Amino acid sequence: MSKGAWGTYNAAAYIEPFILYWVLFLPSWVFSSPDTAAYAFSINQELARIFTYNISSLALIWYLLLHTGRLFSSLSDLRPRPRDLVTVFFALPCLLVLGALVSLAGTLFPAPVSAPDIGVPQGLAAFLVMILSCLSTGYLEESYFRFYLFTRFKQGGIGPVKAMIVSSILFALCHVYEGPLGALNALLAGLLLFFIFSRRRSLHGIAWAHGAYNIFVYVMAGITGG
């Protein structure tokens, strides 16, 4: 590959991630309603989101990663491994502690910071759809914000610390619709998950931990009434 071609490839490593972010994630916070009222959990709406957004977006991200020709040494690297479970057992408690600390910090302000109420799934079918939604969202967001950005920024010559900061800020922006506490929680969780991925290279582990955390939030919302 010529020097000029390599320079073009480096430029793509910077430009492509932000185009992909603009297309897949920007609408989720620019066009989200600021209303913090509770919304009902709809099986049909969740299934539509899973199959028309989560899965299609995930397929695009993985296609772009595989297209680089540098993602895996072999397709066998995609198989879940015991280290993925170890990653879950480390990452999930850390996410829960971060979430609890952020919620506690919100109570310290003179006027408690509000957050959107969560629509709790009603019935077994809705609960199963919620689990599928949480896991597919976990895989989508971890594939882009950690796996994809780590890979592309590394190819573009961006250091791991800068990559971690940029990735976490972009991740937090996707959660501004959850209010200040949601954005702060996403920022801290993004830093944690990026650090874990940079050390463990375990996409399945952080995706499972992310999905399990979201499931925990739904369960707690059902227990506490929203």
Q: What is the pLDDT of residues 1-57, one digit of tens each?
A: 434 333 444 666 678 899 999 999 986 555 454 444 456 788 999 999 999 999 999
Query: Which carries the bigger pLDDT value, residue 55 or residue 106?
Result: 55
What residues have CB less than 8 Å from 126, skipping those under 6 apart?
41, 43
Query: Which carries the bigger pLDDT value, residue 91 or residue 225?
Result: 91
Query: Which carries the bigger pLDDT value, residue 182 or residue 225?
Result: 182
What is the model's pLDDT at position 206? 96
What is the model's pLDDT at position 73? 47
Tokens found for residue 111:
């006027």
Mean pLDDT of all residues belonging to the chain: 84
Radius of gyration of the chain (CA): 18
Q: Using the structure block, give the residue that is written with the tokens 């592309």.
A: 152
What residues have CB less than 8 Å from 70, skipping those under 6 apart?
151, 155
CB atoms within 10 A of CB 50: 18
- Express each pLDDT in 54-100 by its tens digit: 999 999 998 888 776 555 544 445 778 888 999 999 999 999 999 99
Q: Which pTM was predicted?
A: 0.87
Q: What is the torsion angle, in degrees rounded to the nearest 10, for the CA atoms of residue 41, residue 203, residue 192 and residue 176?
A: -30
pLDDT band at 158 (very low <50, low <70, confident <90, very high): confident
Tokens found for residue 173:
């922006």
Helices (H), 143-178: 149-155, 160-173
